[in-house]
Amino acid sequence: MAHTIRQIAAALGAEAAGALDLVVLRAAEPAQAGPQDLALAMDAKYADGLAQGAAQAAVLWPGADWQGLGLKAAIFVPRPRLAMAGITRVLDPGPEVAPGIHPLAVIDPTAQIGPGAAIGPFVVIGRDVRIGARARIASHASIAEGAVIGDDALIHAGVRICHHVTIGHRLVAQPGAVIGSDGFSFVTPEKSGVEEIRATLGERDEIRQQAWVRIHSVGGVDVGDDVEIGANATVDRGTIRATRIGRGTKLDNMVHIGHNVQVGQDCLLCGQVGVAGSSRIGDRVVLGGQCGVSDNISVGSDVIAGGATKIFTNVPAGLVILGSPAVKMETQIEINKALRRLPRLMQTVAELRKIVTGSVQKDGAETEGT
């Protein structure tokens, strides 16, 4: 898509200089940028790359000598990553879904489709579904009966939105996401081995046969406005009450949200995070990749958990945690330092044991001689 430097600067709310009507087609790293590319050199350390490429325009750091860098136009941004959000938003056309409803889409007559929607081939939309204005739904997506989706949704190929799921405005669902699958909830007629171990912390009176009886999921899923669901992420429906994802929360690829979980607003859950059933996640919580949250616990607002942290107990608001089991990050760093010292410590202990053993033997020989 073609944009002028003036248009991009206006979208960013940024200062620009030079030939503002210069047209660019895409963004590129400085060394690889061609004449129709917008080079991204938002830090002085990337300036040398501009000489290797052929860009006529670039996004630069404030106060950069754009003319001295051989450019015809420049945009100046103080916060590079925030600028990246704006630049990519302007340049990203999204998936190509033709306006209107494709003839190969299957839509129940009772479904309500908002104005300006674009629905691709092989999309299936069930009974009493309501979809807001300007939705874009790519091929092979399915939306089951009773689901409600707000305005300006972007639903990529192969997304599954299950029955009676309610979603706010501006949803982004990446390919393969599943919203509203049944929760993983089973029970045994008698107390199970798992229940016994939880109560005794490891002791078992006997091992006996047991069969699992399914607890059905009759709750739904409620998703707030401006939520993004990553590729192959899954959000299970609640058992009785709805599973909830708060406004502005972003789920990365392959995140799993269990049944009855309540996730707050503006959270960031990175790849392969798993949150077990009935846990509660506060607002603005960040869980790094491969974090795990045990069932029926609470993680307070503004908690940040480093990658691979395993959370087994309640976490107060505002803590920064790391490790398995999770502890304060500074504590885990000291634990890691101590672990690295263990081989040297063990060697020291072995040497001391030799000295002590030798001394004892020597003392014993002297005692016998006396």
Q: What was the pLDDT predicted at 364?
A: 64
Task: Say what the pLDDT of residue 367 is.
Answer: 61
Which residue in the block uniquely carries the two structure tokens 């490790």? Answer: 323
> Is 259 among the catalytic positions?
yes
Q: Which amino acid is at 359?
A: S
Residue 37 has a pLDDT of 97
> Annotated catalytic residue: which of 3, 156, 256, 259?
259
Which amino acid is located at 157 in the chain?
A
150 burial level (CB within 10 Å; 0-12, 13-18, 19+):
buried
What pLDDT, on a 0 to 100 scale, did the predictor assign at position 1?
77
Please tell me the predicted confidence (pLDDT) of residue 204.
83
Cβ within 8 Å of residue 93, ≥6 positions away: 1
Burial pattern 221-249, b for ≥16 Cβ within 10 A else e, equals: bbbbbbbbbbbebbbbbbbeebbbbbbbb
All residue ranges of the chain with pLDDT < 50 are none
The pLDDT, as a whole number, for residue 358 is: 79
Residue count (the chain): 370
Q: How far is the C-alpha of 325 from the C-alpha of 46, rounded, in Å?
A: 41
Tell me whether strands 178-181 and 234-236 are parallel, antiparallel or unpaired.
Answer: parallel
Strand partners, 250: 228, 268
Instruction: Write the CA distances from 104 to 51, 111, 332, integer angstroms.
Output: 51, 16, 56
* 151's tokens: 């305005």
3-state secondary structure of 368: helix
CB 70 within 8 A of CB 51: yes
CB 132 within 8 A of CB 114: yes
